[in-house]
A and B are shown apart, each in its own frame.
Chain A
Amino acid sequence: MRNNSEFAVRLTDVKKTYLMGKVEVEAIKGISLQIPTKRFNVIIGPSGSGKTTLLNLLGCIDIPSAGRVEVCGQDIACLTDEQASDFRAENIGFIFQNFNLIPVLSAYENVEYPLLLMKKPVKERKELTLKMLDAVGLTSHKHHRPNELSGGQRQRVAIARALVKGPKLVLADEPTANLDSKTGQSIIDLMYAMQAENHTTFIFSSHDRQVMAHAEKVFEIQDGLLMQDKEL
């Protein structure tokens, strides 16, 4: 248990199988790994290799079929649905491939939303939200709804939303897949900058080897298995 502080995530012999009709699909076939805290980690692998499945486990929105997943020292299989929800609200920030902003809320309100879930007082909410919007350069767009923003802008809002509550862990599942390469690069740069500034543990998945440039640690998975685990 001493290692808990050193590792944001620890996986031990984790398997995940899905049932497709009557056929069992093994998405993760036995992965053990430890992801250090306060670094920019990249999970790389081709399409269908199990990146999303892995990140879902790390994000406490799924449970393993076998093995043990510890996130911030917490065995996620032990949490009830409500405890897991509260745990996510407190500790985990998500950045999605499809941005997944709440369409009826403005940029400002989307960023504020996680703070509402944490029941932060009004004043603190406002301060943190404005600060985060400023950090992603969207102060001037704070009243825009997601459909009034470009893809890059939406992902900036999503980054602000993921980071506003100061989570221990930020999970970004192919956040640039739906963006052109130039915008994608600027989003990656923004994430690096934000990670460096906030000292958050970032786990970033991609099938694109180009994004590894600044990664501090890269995990490569293929067919549900970990290929290598190299430090840069």
Chain B
Amino acid sequence: MKTLHIAFRNIFRNSRRSLMTILAISVSAVAVHLFGGYVANIIYGMQSDYVRDNGHLQIYRKGFFDYGAGNPAVYGISRYQEIMQLINADPDLKNIVLMMTPILRFYGIAGNFKKDVSKTFYGLGYIPSEYKKMRQWNDYSMKRSRARLERIVLADSDTEAGIIGEGMARMLLLCEELNVKNCAEKPPEANGADLPAEAKEDFSFLSESDDLNPEQEAADKRPKLDLLAATAGGAPNVVSLYVNNTEIQGVKALDDNYVAMHISLAQRLLYGKGQKKVTGIVVQLRHTKDMALAKVRLQQLFDKNKLDLEIRDFTLIVPMYKQVISFLSALFSFIAVIMGLIVLFTIINTMTMSVMERVDEIGTIRALGLRRGGILRQFIAEGLVLGVLGATFGVLASVVLAYGINNSGLTWIPPNYVDRVPLTILIFINPFLVPGCWLGLVLLSVFSSVFPARKAGKMVIVDALRHV
């Protein structure tokens, strides 16, 4: 107890030097906190977005993830309602699952025959209201732009409508009709004039459905696309899709191919009048931390019921997520190591100076009967006090700075994003960042003061006393 007391007083003896040391520790803490908070903002922001779009887990028929996207008809799940009921009935899963919704992923060709253009597309069929709800997931209470939420303007009742990527709209020459901004006008010579005649043919005659009401069709002012895909039987099938609006996708390759639509339209296209299937069930959990548990429970459930299903989590569906995490973690470690080295050298320097200034004092208290260990403890206690003060001031300064930045109205566009989002430094979102950094700095301070303290402990008493 007295040791700490004396350590405190010794620190304020050369207050300027101690202040500089404390400042160096604080600055390191601030750097680590702010960068860590920024990284956390990116990682948790990405996670939130991926979870909003893809849920935490997706359930497929076994093999779909690797082979099935090319043949959704074969890899479809027909009893998906039953499976969702089964999951809902499980007491463990019920508590951790926030929502489930079926989706259909497939590829096809979309044509805008008014303009004589067509191209392949990547189709996503979902239940609009449920997808919209899924996008509201915000377990980390992050600030975000409202834009993404508001883009889904499909209604559950409007089973023939869809949303396409801006790139898709551009290539299908729908920019004007859909009010797409920054849409470069297509060079006239490439206007499909030299395409073979058959490519220009309207393929709506392939349509299996006959429930379209021609009058209603004529009344609808929305741009219309014809979507062509292969049915389960292998025959081509066509449906019409009214484009409600565009939604830009972060990745150009996706944006150029994206066609989202009401799930029943996708089902009509892929399965005709036959059995309605889906390719996946999206499971969104309340909290990401339950993902491993949910995976295990789901697998047990599937095994027990002899269901030939596989589970993929969003980190597999969006490999970018893990890549970004490892990239940022490497950067973070680099910064943390540099800051740690600065703290190490600063403390060693300060403590060594402190030891050298107090040689006669060390000799005196050793003569009075303090053991070597006592000297060691005395100087390590000083390192500890410096570390605690520095790390604590660092936390306070970081909180103030982070608050300032978060309320400064700064925005930025994270990688793979399309909208500006508020720039936020989330130093507390990762529960280990602040305590870990604090403890790390304190331990480092103690560790750094061990060397000078040992030097003090090893001093020869008579030499120390002669030193004036």
Give me the interface of A with B, judged by CB distance under 8 Å: 52, 56, 59, 61-62, 81-82, 85-90, 92, 94, 96, 98, 100, 102-105, 113-114, 116-118, 161
Contact = CB atoms under 8 A, between A and B. Distances in A.
Interface string B362-385: 011111111111100000000000
B465 A117 contact: no
Interface stretch (B2-10, B101-109, B416-424): B2-10
A56 B10 CA distance: 28
B6 A105 contact: yes
B218 interface: no
Contacts of A117: 368-370, 374
Q: Which of A59, A81, A85 has the most chain B CB atoms closer than 10 A to its own CB?
A: A85
B371 A81 contact: yes
Given A103-B361, A104-B6, A105-B6, A89 B368 contact: yes
Given A88-B368, A94-B368, 17 more contacts: A59-B367, A61-B367, A62-B462, A85-B366, A85-B370, A88-B369, A92-B369, A94-B364, A100-B360, A100-B361, A100-B465, A103-B13, A104-B6, A104-B9, A114-B368, A114-B369, A117-B370
B372 to A, nearest CB: 6
A105 B364 CA distance: 13
B190 interface: no
Interface string B1-24: 010001001100100000000000
B468 interface: yes
Interface of B: 2, 6, 9-10, 13, 360-361, 363-374, 461-462, 465-466, 468
A137 B453 CA distance: 37
B216 to A, nearest CB: 91
Contact of B364 (A56, A89, A90, A100): A100
Contacts of A61: 366-367, 461-462, 465
A9 B9 CA distance: 38
B2 A90 contact: no
Closest 9 CB pairs of A and B: A89-B369, A104-B9, A100-B364, A88-B369, A61-B461, A85-B371, A117-B369, A62-B462, A56-B462
5 contacts: A82-B373, A85-B366, A86-B371, A89-B369, A100-B364
Given A104-B13, A116-B2, A90 B369 contact: yes
A96 B364 contact: yes
A98 B468 contact: yes
A81 B457 CA distance: 11
A100 B368 CA distance: 11
Contact of A94 (B9, B367, B374): B367
B368 A96 contact: no
A114 B466 CA distance: 21
A219 B360 CA distance: 28
A86 B369 contact: yes
A118 B461 CA distance: 19
Contacts of A114: 368-369
B465 A96 contact: yes
Main secondary structure of the interface of B (DSSP, over half): helix
Contacts of B372: 81-82, 85
B55 to A, nearest CB: 62
A151 to B, nearest CB: 15
Contacts of A98: 360, 468
B186 to A, nearest CB: 81
A153 B465 CA distance: 21
B6 A85 contact: no
A94 B370 CA distance: 13
A69 to B, nearest CB: 14
A180 B370 CA distance: 32
Contacts of B364: 94, 96, 100, 102
A218 B84 CA distance: 104
Given A94-B367, A103-B13, A105-B6, A62 B461 contact: yes
A96 B361 CA distance: 12
Nearest to A86: B369
Given A98-B360, A98-B468, A104 B10 contact: yes
A220 B185 CA distance: 112
A52 B465 CA distance: 10
Contact of B365 (A52, A56, A90, A102): A102
Nearest to A162: B368
A146 to B, nearest CB: 11
Contacts of A62: 461-462
Contacts of B13: 103-104
A104 B361 CA distance: 11
Nearest to B12: A104
Contacts of A88: 367-369
B367 to A, nearest CB: 5
Q: Which of B13, B367, B373 has the most chain A CB atoms closer than 10 A to its own CB?
A: B367
A114 B117 CA distance: 96
A94 B365 CA distance: 10
B461 A102 contact: no
Nearest to A112: B2
Contacts of B465: 56, 61, 96, 100
A126 to B, nearest CB: 14
Contacts of A86: 369, 371
A88 B461 CA distance: 12
Contacts of B368: 88-89, 94, 113-114, 117, 161
Contacts of B6: 102, 104-105
A76 to B, nearest CB: 13
Nearest to B364: A100
